[in-house]
Structure 1
Amino acid sequence: MIPRPFGCRSIALKKAQQSHTFRAFYATIRGLRQPPSAPEPDELPPPDNDFILSILRANPSLRDTRSYLASFGGPRPQQIKKSLAPTPSTNTSPTQEIVIPPPPSERIESTAKSISATTSEFPRSSPIIASILNPVIRRTALVKVQGPLTDVQLDSISRGLVYLEKLGLVSVIVVENDEQYRGEQDERTAIVEETMRVVSSLEKQGARARPVVGAVVRLGPKPGDEEDIDAKDFIPPESHAFPSDLTPIRSALRAGEIPVIAPFALDSFLRSVRVDANDVISGLARGMVEASALDKSRENTQDGYSEFSAEIDLTPLRLMIISREGGVPSYARSGYPHLLINLASEYNHIHETFEGKWRYTKPSALSNLALARTCLNYMPPTSSAIMVSHKSPSALIGNLITNKPAVSSSLPHALLQGNRKLTPHTPTLLRKGLPVRILRSTAEIDKAKLNHLLEQSFNRELDEEAFYKRLDETLDCVIVAGDYAGAAIVTNEPSSTPFSAPISYLDKFAVLPSHQGDGTVDFLWVALHDETYGLGHPFSANPNGGRGGVGEGRDLVWRSRANNPVNKWYFERSTGHIRLGSWVLFWCDAEKRLKIEEGRRGSAGLSYVEEWEKGRLERWTDVVMKIPSSWK
Structure 2
Amino acid sequence: MFSFAASLMILQDFFLSILRANPSLRDTRSYLASFVPRHKPVLTSLSPNTSIQTTLQLSQRQPTADLENPKPSRILASILNPVIRRTALVKIQGPFTDVQLDSITRGLVYLEKLGLVSVIVVENDELPRGEQDERATIIEETMRVVTSLERHGSRARPVVGAMVRLGPKPSDEGASETGITPPESHTVATDLIPIRSALKAAEIPVISPFALDSFCRSIRIDANDVIAGLARGMVEAAAEQQSKRSDESNDVCEDVDLTPLRLMIINREGGVPSYARSGYPHLLINLNSEYAHIHETFHHPWLNSHPTALSNLSLARTCLAYMPPTSSAIMVSHRSPSSLIANLITNKPAVSSSLPHALLQGNRKITPNTPTLLRRGLPIQVIRKASEIDRKKMSTLLEQSFNKTLDQALFYGRLEKTLDYVILAGDYAGAAIVTKEECSGLDTPITYLDKFAVLPSHQGDGTVDFLWVALHDESYGLGLPFSANPNGGKGGKGQGQDLVWRSRSNNPVNKWYFERSTGHLRMDSWVLFWCDAEKRLEIEKGRRASSGLSHIEDWEEGRLAKWAEAVFKIPGSWKK
Q: Above 0.5 in TM-score? A: yes
**2:486 matched to 1:540?**
no
Q: Which whole-Å CA distance do the structure 2 matches of 1:340 and 1:469 have between them?
A: 37
Q: Pick one of 426, 431, 438 that aligns with 2:375.
A: 431
**2:130 matched to 1:183?**
yes
Aligned to 1:512: 455
| SS of residue matched to 2:563 | helix
What does 1:459-538 correspond to in 2, within 5 Å? 459-497=403-441, 500-538=443-481
| SS of residue matched to 1:141 | strand
CA 1:494/1:355 → structure 2, altered by over 3 Å: closer, same or farther? same
Per-residue CA distance 1:359-401 (angstroms, 9 max, x = gap): 1110000000000000000001111000000011110000000
What are the ranges of 5 or more consecutive residues in structure 2 without an aligned counterpart?
A: 1-8, 43-70
Per-residue CA distance 1:564-611 (angstroms, 9 max, x = gap): 111111111111111111111100111111111111112112112111
**2:36 matched to 1:73?**
yes
Q: Pick one of 220, 225, 241 that aligns with 2:172.
A: 225
- Counterpart of 1:298, as a letter, is K
- Counterpart of 2:15, as a letter, is I
Aligned to 1:57: 20
CA 1:203/1:214 → structure 2, altered by over 3 Å: closer, same or farther? same
Paired-residue identity, %:
73
Task: Give 1:416 deviation, angstroms.
Answer: 2.2
Aligned to 1:325: 269
Task: Give 1:97 deviation, angstroms.
Answer: 12
- Counterpart of 1:343, as a letter, is L
| SS of residue matched to 2:190 | helix
| SS of residue matched to 2:449 | strand
Aligned to 2:517: 574
What does 1:115-134 correspond to in 2, within 5 Å? none
Partners of 2:37 and 2:78 within 8 A in 1? no
- Counterpart of 2:481, as a letter, is P
Partners of 1:495 and 1:501 within 8 A in 2? yes
Per-residue CA distance 1:442-497 (angstroms, 9 max, x = gap): 12211111111011111111111221121111111100000000000001111112
Task: Give 1:207 deviation, angstroms.
Answer: 0.9
Aligned to 1:370: 314
- Counterpart of 2:187, as a letter, is A
Q: TM-score, normalised by structure 1?
A: 0.82
Aligned residues: CA RMSD: 2.0
Partners of 1:140 and 1:318 within 8 A in 2? yes
**2:428 matched to 1:452?**
no
**2:267 matched to 1:291?**
no
| SS of residue matched to 2:136 | helix
Q: Which whole-Å CA distance do the structure 2 matches of 1:571 and 1:226 have between them?
A: 50
Partners of 1:295 and 1:308 within 8 A in 2? no
Q: Pick one of 539, 542, 551 that aligns with 1:599.
A: 542
Partners of 2:83 and 2:114 within 8 A in 1? no
**Structure of greater relative contact order (alpha carbons < 8 Å, 6+ residues apart):** 1
Task: Give 1:405 deviation, angstroms.
Answer: 0.5
| SS of residue matched to 2:485 | coil
Q: Which whole-Å CA distance do the structure 2 matches of 1:587 and 1:156 have between them?
A: 43
Q: Which whole-Å CA distance do the structure 1 matches of 2:173 and 2:398 have between them?
A: 41
**2:199 matched to 1:253?**
yes
Task: Give 1:230 deviation, angstroms.
Answer: 1.6
Per-residue CA distance 1:411-463 (angstroms, 9 max, x = gap): 11211266554110001000000000000111221111111101111111111
CA 1:290/1:428 → structure 2, altered by over 3 Å: closer, same or farther? same
Task: Give 1:101 deviation, angstroms.
Answer: 5.7
CA 1:279/1:99 → structure 2, altered by over 3 Å: closer, same or farther? farther
- Counterpart of 2:184, as a letter, is E
CA 1:245/1:47 → structure 2, altered by over 3 Å: closer, same or farther? closer
Task: Give 1:135 deviation, angstroms.
Answer: 3.9
| SS of residue matched to 1:225 | coil
Q: Which whole-Å CA distance do the structure 2 matches of 1:525 and 1:205 have between them?
A: 42
- How many equivalent pairs are there? 538
| SS of residue matched to 1:314 | coil
Q: Which whole-Å CA distance do the structure 1 matches of 2:103 and 2:536 have between them?
A: 45
CA 1:423/1:166 → structure 2, altered by over 3 Å: closer, same or farther? same
Partners of 1:135 and 1:167 within 8 A in 2? no
Aligned to 1:589: 532
Aligned to 1:342: 286
Q: Pick one of 488, 506, 509 that aligns with 1:563.
A: 506
Aligned to 2:493: 550
